[in-house]
Amino acid sequence: QAQLVESGGGSVQAGGSLRLSCAGSWNHYDRYSMAWFRQAPGNEREGVAAIDSDGTTTYADAVKGRFTVSQDNDKITLYLQMNSLKPEDTAMYYCAADWGGVGRPLVPSEYVYWGQGTQVTVSS
């Protein structure tokens, strides 16, 4: 049994910053991968940023240079620092996890466990 809980979402003006957190709750596994996804109404869920089990990070082109993903493995906590936010970043943001490595870090179907989502709204 595993559980993921996101927090830190909210409303911000364009150019502002938010920091999302995802707290994992499960027995400690030596190797696991975690990622952030987002979905706006009417759109497909898209990958934002990921950290694989080997520590490598992957970013979507749309957020490179603006978002930074990090994690605290001891706490099983994933973070997403979002700077220079744009209205097009508005979406429900989801945290996801799976054991071991993943073949496609920004593809939703690679992950088994998901959080409930936290809303991010960026106004112009």
Span 40-95, pLDDT tens digits? 999 999 999 999 988 999 999 999 999 999 998 777 899 999 999 999 999 999 99
Q: Which of 14, 35, 28 is nearest to 95 (CA)?
A: 35
% of the chain surpassing 90 pLDDT: 82
Is pLDDT of 27 > 80? Answer: no
Q: What is the mean pLDDT of residues 99-112?
A: 94
Find out whether 47 and 108 touch, Cβ atoms under 8 Å: yes
Beta bridge partners of 11: 121
Q: Is the pLDDT of residue 30 over 90?
A: no
* pLDDT for 118 beyond 90: yes
> Could you tell me if 114 and 95 are in contact, meaning their C-beta atoms sit under 8 angstroms apart?
yes
Grouping H, G, I as helix, E, B as strand and the rest as coil, residue 63 is helix
